[in-house]
Amino acid sequence: MTGGDGRPGPRHFLDLRGIDPDRARALLDRAATLKSGRVEPGWTPPLLGRNLGLVFEKPSLRTRVSFEAAFARLGGSSIFLRGKDVGMGVRESVADFARVISQYVDALAVRTFAHSMLEELAEYAAIPVVNALSDDAHPCQAMADMLTLRELKPDLAGIKLAFVGDGNNVAMSLAEAAALLDVDFVLACPEGYEYPETFTAAFAARFPDVPLQVVHDAREAAEGSDAVYADVWASMGQEHEADQRREIFAPFQVDEDLMDLARPDAVFLHCLPAHRGEEVTSGVLDGPRSRVFQQAANRMYFQMALLEWLVQDRTAEDRLRY
């Protein structure tokens, strides 16, 4: 990784293209250790005195609190900034913002729309940049979901995860995480709501031996699955499509009958917030198969492992880059 001036730069976590299967498993292992509390003897919070900047252009509950709590548990503190107050690319260029914020904080988590903004930030920042959600990827969510699945089924290889929704940022990151960890992943969506072509091409180039499975029947996807995953039908920024999507996605609601097609011990996952009565029934969301709150908790533990890896090993030279 290099910065905008060509010098070696810090590690970033913009999507899952930057890590390999060994690193993915190592991060999950570390997250599990941190969650268990069984860390090495004499362990002290490794990020004492460090600061995390949070720049959010979209509202959030889980993402903001899980990042702030994760960094605090590692000994650091956080500074939250709303995107409209920062005005990246409006009040000043993204490059200038990156150079300035790099001198104040030790890592930056950004929740935004355009993935290209994250890439530009990473190009010029002297600190790690973490994707807390963009239109193209939600890598922290996907890895926390894999942590949840691994808690339920320790050997991930070969288990089947069915995502019922559209080929959105969550689905794209889940497909990549699944490929890294040998999970059998299938997307069930209405025709016309598949993955973007750019993602399909990039996935095929990186994982030539992994089929990117897409079906247009939720029942076909759910049958024999170990986990069924749902997401809202209209994500942030798509509110104007909500009525149309409710009609189109109606056959893709996850209800008790759909869950009965999955394996007897199958679980239900959702990245939340959920729209009860739309993409999932309350009976499934609140039922014995639901693991959505365990899933939400794991956001914090995965992000602890990630931030420890990204920030702890930075050198003094990195920190004094500008």
* Positions marked active-site: 111, 138, 141, 231, 271, 299
Cβ-based neighbour number of residue 96 at 10 Å: 13
Compute the C-alpha angle 17/20/3, nearest 5°.
55
Residue for token pair 């988590």? 109
Tell me the C-alpha to C-alpha distance, in Å, between residue 259 and each of 16, 185, 265, 306. Answer: 29, 16, 10, 33
Give the amino acid at 319.
R
Other C-beta atoms lying within 10 Å of the C-beta of residue 228:
28
Omega cis (within 30) before 273: yes
- Residue 311's closest CA among 103, 108, 59, 27? 108
Which conformational region is residue 237 in: left (phi greater than 0), alpha (psi within -120 to 50 degrees), or beta? left
Q: What are phi and psi of 122, to 5 degrees?
A: -65, -30
Alpha helices by DSSP H, listed for the chain, are 21-36, 62-73, 83-86, 94-101, 115-124, 139-152, 169-180, 197-206, 218-222, 242-249, 256-259, 282-285, 292-312, 316-319
Quote the distance between the C-alpha of residue 159 and its chain's center.
20
